[in-house]
Amino acid sequence: LCGERGDTLDAALREARLNLDWKGSLSISFFLLSLLLGLQLIKDKYHFAGAVLIVISFPAVVLFFLAERKSPDPIFPLILMSRERIQFILIGAFIMGAFFNVAISFIPLFFESAEQISAFEIGLKMIPLMLGAGLGSLVSGRMSARWHTLAFVQAWVLPAVSFGLLAFFFYKPEPQ
């Protein structure tokens, strides 16, 4: 049995499939796919195709917002954007996401090219960062359930500590 009414799992899945915001899902998927593919192609020899895909992606995000406004069960409720606290959370999540994407992508490349170390050692060096990210997610989720304002502070402190651990444990001073 599943759900409040005692539905079977098949019935609950069938209902979830019917209630999915298909227009919003398809429009945001098309936006992300065309934007990322366009950004990838524009730096290669397919400049024109990349530019066309980037230009096509912007009407898709407009369609996403229009679909979300009309949907009874939206993927992202736009009413949340009117709340200052939610705006703060989303901006912070965007900034931290950008930092972590850069860190996860480019720190291993730095270790490989500048430090001349193997992929195995790079994986070991990335463990503090990954543990800090996982621990930060776990602790901030628990803290936000109890103390709403402290979770914001903690969400910035634990990633900073994990970056510090990454730098501290593997710092090699120059021989003099």
- Helix 22-42, helix 47-70: angle, nearest 10: 160
Biggest distance spanned by C-alpha atoms of the chain: 73
Q: How far apart are CA 38 and CA 42, in angstroms?
A: 6
User: Mean of the per-residue pLDDT values for the chain?
Assistant: 77
* Stretch 126-147: mean pLDDT: 75
pLDDT cut 70: percent of the chain above it? 75
Phi-psi region for residue 3, left (φ > 0), alpha (ψ -120 to 50) or beta?
A: left
Joined tokens for residue 139: 């602790």
CA distance 101 to 78: 26
Q: Which has the higher per-residue pLDDT, 163 or 46? A: 46
pLDDT band at 115, cuts 50/70/90? confident
More confident residue, 66 or 163: 66
